[in-house]
Structures are given as structure tokens and as C-alpha cells.
Amino acid sequence: MLITELMQGVRRKSTREIVDAYARRAEVPDALWNRLISSARTEIVLAGYTNYFFWTQQPGFEETLASKLADGVRVRILLGDPDGDVTRHRENIQNGPMSLSSRIHMTLAAVQRLDTFGNLEVRFSERNAEAHALCSVFQFDREALVCESIGNEMGHNWLTLHLKKLEDGGPFQRYMEHLEFLWDGARVWEPSEA
């Protein structure tokens, strides 16, 4: 009995930072995306391979992001390299109606419209691009949505976890370590590359 209770306690501790799980990113409620974006006070990290869906599916996203930048929120955007080998490989696997590189270029065009206030950083995956292509992390202060690749499906069909930081060493921190691994292996985007 004692072992069973101990195991249940470990299980509860390791999963309590998982607020919810969605079979697909497309099932994440718009209200949750809106709350996470609008409530962020210190940092927003968009580490999706294209991040295109923010501008097409979140009403007023560009204005909200501009307001966050004006308020001093640090915004980091990590994208796949539109000309990279991993992007070409994933395009062949996914065979979607709009190429990954096209979606990345559309995101870059939107980013160029922002007045950055010096708080916006944009990078392309380079050294760790394959890991980025299979796991997207969207951080909003102490909460995050993490999307894990499922087979050859496009990002909107990926398994998605909603995490909230409650302790050191939990799932939230582990995914933030992954995020920094991706960020550190990326190269700075120059607007002349758009």
C-alpha cells in the first residue's frame, strides 16, 4: 500500500503542471490563446516552425503584439529557415496546400510591420532545426502551449499540452530548457533576408 501511495504522489507531482491536453493544436480554445497572449507581462516566445497561424487565426494579433512590445514585453520569435534543408524536407513530408517556406515568409512580412521598441528578437533554426520542426513551444510568462509532431501531419494536428510553471524541475521547466536549446542553436534573422 505504501508503494502505491508513493507512486501516486510522484505521478501527481510530475503531472500537476499539465493543465490540459488537446489531441490537436486546432482544438485549443481561442479564448485560451487570447488570455495567454494578452496576460503576458514579461516575455512571449513564439517558437513554432512558421508561427503563421497567429496572424491568420488570432484576431488583432499584430496590434496586441505591438502593444506588448510598447509595454516592454520581450518577444522572441523562432522560425524555420525558409531556405533550409529541414524546411524542404518537411515540405515534402507534409505536402500541404501552402508550403512551409511561404508561411515563414508571410510571418516575416508581418514581423517587419511591427515597431519593435528594441524588444523583438527573431531567429531562424539552424543547428537544431530538426528538433524545432518536430516540437513547437509557445511561452507566455509562466504558461506555455507545447505542440508535439504526430507523424507527417501539419502543425494544427499536433498533440498540444497546456503547461503552467508550479515548481522547479517540472514539465514546464523541461520544455523551457528545450526552448533555449532551440534558441541557442539558431541564427539571428536580418530583415534584409525577407
SS (H, E, C) 42-99: CEEEEECCCCHHHHHHCCCHHHHHHHHHHCCCEEEEEECCCCCHHHHHHHHHHCCCCC
More confident residue, 138 or 6: 138
Three-state DSSP state, 185: coil
Cell of 129: 532545426
Cell of 87: 524546411
Amino acid at 131: A
In tens, the pLDDT along 158-193 reads: 999 999 999 999 999 999 999 999 999 999 998 776
The span from the CA of 110 to the CA of 163, in Å, is 28
Which domains are seen in the chain, by residue range?
A: 17-193 (3.30.870.10)
The span from the CA of 12 to the CA of 45, in Å, is 28
Residue 123 has pLDDT above 80, yes or no: yes
Decide: 185 and 126 in contact? Cβ < 8 Å.
yes
Residue 6 has pLDDT above 50, yes or no: no
Decide: 25 and 32 in contact? Cβ < 8 Å.
no
In tens, the pLDDT along 81-117 reads: 999 999 998 888 877 778 889 999 999 999 999 877 7
pLDDT (average), residues 66-78? 96
Cell of 91: 515540405
pTM: 0.89
Name the maximum alpha-carbon separation found in the chain: 64
